[in-house]
Structures are given as structure tokens and as C-alpha cells.
Amino acid sequence: MSTSPTTPAALAVGDVIALDIGPVAHGGFCVARHEGRVVFVRHALPGERVHAQVTQAREGQRFVRADCIEVLDPSPHRVAAPCRYAAPGLCGGCDFQHAALPYQRELKSAVVREQFSRLAALDVEVEVEPLSGDDTGLGWRTRVEFAVDETGRAGLRGSRSHEVVPVDSCLIADPRVLATGVLDQDWSGELAVDVAAPSQGDTVVVPVPSGESDTPVVTERVAAQSFSGTFEVSARGFWQVHPAAAGTFVDMVNQMLDPQPGETALDLYAGVGLFAAALAERVGESGKVIAVESDSEAVASAAGNLAAYPSVVVVRGRVDDAFGVQRAQRSGPARSRAPRSRKLRRHPLLPLRADVVVLDPPRTGAGRDVAAQVAALGARAIAYVACDPSALARDTAFLAQAGYRLAALRAFDAFPMTHHVECIALFEKGGA
């Protein structure tokens, strides 16, 4: 039977096809087409002609995934990947080692612009900026979780895979991580092993699983232009992995919000209290800062880190729960039963009004309901710190519906060689 122009060509895993590579897509792929079917291609660059091997194909889907295995017509921005594991079928941690570092940032800028155009109907002018001291894009990652294979060797995951690729080095890891010898040891019986190289003190190695009480605490020092402070963080807890990120983001949030003495501030998804501490210094003892965080370990750290600031109150709980947002909840084990609403009351320590708000949600973003509740606070300014541009763009649309416009947007290359990018957006009331 012949294939009509509207019927995508049948492709199977392992097929090799010639492709003309189109624009970059969110997630570390570039987009191509093959006889009516979209192909998301890793290890390629826009404008190239390549041979690609199909790595994922499902019946009924109008797209497949593939790896570039031969470059027929290279991009002028293509370089030899510095790491031998950054290749088809190997480590999935880095997406763009085959692109010159300035061009990587051009690709990420294009992704941010495309996400805002598609999800928020906004044309934004944004260029991804390097962080201080990052000239090569290597040696920056101060926290790494290595997976462990069935033989006890530490390694990294393949792209979109649970398969462990044993490695003897990781070029984006801080040299102190590799100096622990973690990649030379036998980790039989462990699921993974975390390594944290903090800004102060010794590098620590934590096998996973590990009892909560056995997880060491490390010290991180932030010395930004607008704020300085010391924070205790679990070695397995969340902290920015690029050494220049925390200080840069604090400075940007302070600049955007310009907190004033006596104001009420909210730090939502507060982690161990980085932004809450910076806000507390600005609003002073006459102001108030409410920090909301759900992770129990982070809350314990935040309580200690923020103890010197009498204006700060730490609230343990999910942000949506604190606002009293109703979440769907399954009733009983039967999948066929319809979800029922879980009725919640607004947390008594959460104010009805606020002057400034920091949103620093996980990769999934804040969501429509939280955006609406934040907007209802009537803050004069909202700073949104986002590690996923698509979630930020979606939430930008939600905030716009609630009366807040995007007033400023900055983007930073906090994860060189990968497709990830950190954005910080300022929202203000009214206007288009």
C-alpha cells in the first residue's frame, strides 16, 4: 500500500534516515521531518544534514526520536565534543557538547523565546547570559548523583533511559567531585551515590539509600553584591549546582523586587531559606517574611539558617496547601473511581496581602491555581525563578489572566553543555 503525503512514513527503532535539521526544540533536541513525520534529533545542530538512527518509535505517534550518527553537512558552530561519553547511545547528561559555547546560549535563547511565543503569546527579547567565571562550560557542577549499575560501578544515565553508562570521568563535574575517587570504587548494594562539593568545607560522598540521620550537612557561603550569608544544607538537599548561581540569582531578585523596610514578603518554595534571608535583610525587623517549603529536611535547615532574622516565619507545607487550593485526590484503590476534592483551609500564618513575592517552584512550575492565589495577594512585584522555560511561559499566561504583566525577563546559563536554562522574571500589576 502506498503512503499518502498526509500519512507519516513507518519508522522503527534502528532505522537510519537522512535528515535536514531544522530549529532547536525544548529538551535538547532539534526538529526535522521525514516523509510527514516529525523527528526529534539529538547530537545535531540547526542547518545540518545528517544521517540519524531512530531510537524511539511508537505506533500511532506522529513523531519519533533519533540520534545523529553521521554529519553530512556540518554547522559552522559544530565542535568536537570534549567528553567521549557525550555521544549517541552513551551519557544523556549533556545535550550540546558538540556546539561552541556561545552558540549553545543562542540555542537556549531561541528555546526561551519560542516557549513564550507558543505558551504565553508574547514576543520576548532575551539572551541567555553566562554566569561569572564560566569560560569553558566545564568543571562547574558541584553536586552530582551517580547511578550504580548491577556490577557496582558508578555512572550516569543514558538519554531518556534508566540504563547506567559507567564512566571514568565527568567533564562538567567540579574537579573536587572526581577527586573523591567515587568513580573508582565498588558501590555494590547501592542504588546511587551522591557527591557534594560545597563552597566551604570538605567534599562529601553519600551512598543511596542512606538513612536520613546519616546524611551529612554541608555549608554553602553566598557572597553576592546585595547580600551575603552562610547556609547549612543537606548534602542530598537542593542547592544551586553552579558555584556562581546562588549569588547571581539573589542579586537579580533583589534588583527586581527592591524590597523596602517594613514590607511583607513571601518566599514560596523557599528551600533552605536563601531568598527569605535576603528579603529579611531588606524589609528589616519592622517587616515580615513568610517562607513556605514542603520538604521536611529543607524546613529544618531553613529554621536554623533564618534563626537570626526575627522577621521571618518558616511554614512547612506545600504551597498549594498553604493557600487552601483544593487538589484532586483518589478515593480508595480502585482506578475507576472519580477523584474527589481534598478540602483545605488557608494556613493561618499566610497573609492575605503581601508587598513582594518570590516564586521558586520545581521544574513543573507553580500552576494555574497557585498563580491565581499569588495574584490575589496584590503584591506590587513578583519575582519568578524558573528552571524550566516552558513552565514559566505557561505560568506567565496564568498570571496575565490574573492581572499581572511580564515586566522583565533575564536568562542565565547555569547548566552549560545541557539544554537547561535558568530564567528570572519580574511581574507587575496591570498593563499588557
Q: What is the pLDDT of residues 160-201, one digit of tens each?
A: 999 999 999 999 999 999 999 999 999 999 999 999 999 999
The reply to whether 330 falls in a domain is yes
Specify whether the CB–CB gap between 139 and 171 falls below 8 A: yes
C-alpha neighbours within 13 Å on the C-beta side of residue 87: 11
Model confidence at 367, in pLDDT bands (50, 70, 90)? very high
The reply to whether 210 falls in a domain is no
Domain count, the chain: 2
Query: Interhelix angle for 368-376 vs 389-401, to 10°?
Result: 50
When the pLDDT of each residue in the chain is averaged and rounded to a whole number, the result is: 93
333 three-state secondary structure: coil
CATH number of the domain that residue 58 is part of: 2.40.50.140
The reply to whether 386 falls in a domain is yes
Q: Binding site: which residues?
A: 240, 269, 293, 360
Separation in Å, CA 370 to CA 318, 320, 354: 11, 6, 15
The reply to whether 7 falls in a domain is no
Q: Examine the domain organization and report whether 401 and 256 are in the same domain.
A: yes
Q: CA nearest 142: which of 282, 39, 246? A: 246
The reply to whether 419 falls in a domain is yes
Domain that holds residue 72: 16-78
Looking at residue 325, its pLDDT comes to 87
pLDDT digits (tens, 9 = 90+) for 62-94: 899 999 999 999 999 999 999 999 999 999 999
Query: Interhelix angle for 389-401 vs 101-120, to 10°?
Result: 30
Kindly state the average pLDDT of the residues 294-318: 97
Identify the DSSP state of 183: G
Run of H or E including 194 = strand 192-196
CATH number of the domain that residue 315 is part of: 3.40.50.150
Task: Give the torsion sign (CA, 159, 164, 167, 172).
Answer: positive
Looking at residue 2, its pLDDT comes to 44
Per DSSP, what are the bridge partners of residue 205? 195
182 three-state secondary structure: helix
Q: Binding site for S-adenosyl-L-methionine: which residues?
A: 240, 269, 293, 360
Separation in Å, CA 6 to CA 20, 35, 81, 112: 19, 9, 38, 31
Is the whole-model pTM more than 0.85?
yes
The reply to whether 359 falls in a domain is yes
The reply to whether 86 falls in a domain is no
Looking at residue 365, its pLDDT comes to 97
Model confidence at 258, in pLDDT bands (50, 70, 90)? very high
Kindly state the average pLDDT of the residues 206-223: 83
Q: Among 51, 78, 105, which residue terminates a domain?
A: 78
Q: Which positions are annotated as active-site residues?
A: 387
The reply to whether 316 falls in a domain is yes
Looking at residue 430, its pLDDT comes to 85
> Is the pLDDT reported for residue 272 higher than 90?
yes
Looking at residue 342, its pLDDT comes to 56
Q: Among 28, 44, 78, which residue terminates a domain?
A: 78
pLDDT digits (tens, 9 = 90+) for 307-353: 999 999 999 999 999 999 876 554 444 444 444 445 678 999 999 99
Looking at residue 7, its pLDDT comes to 59
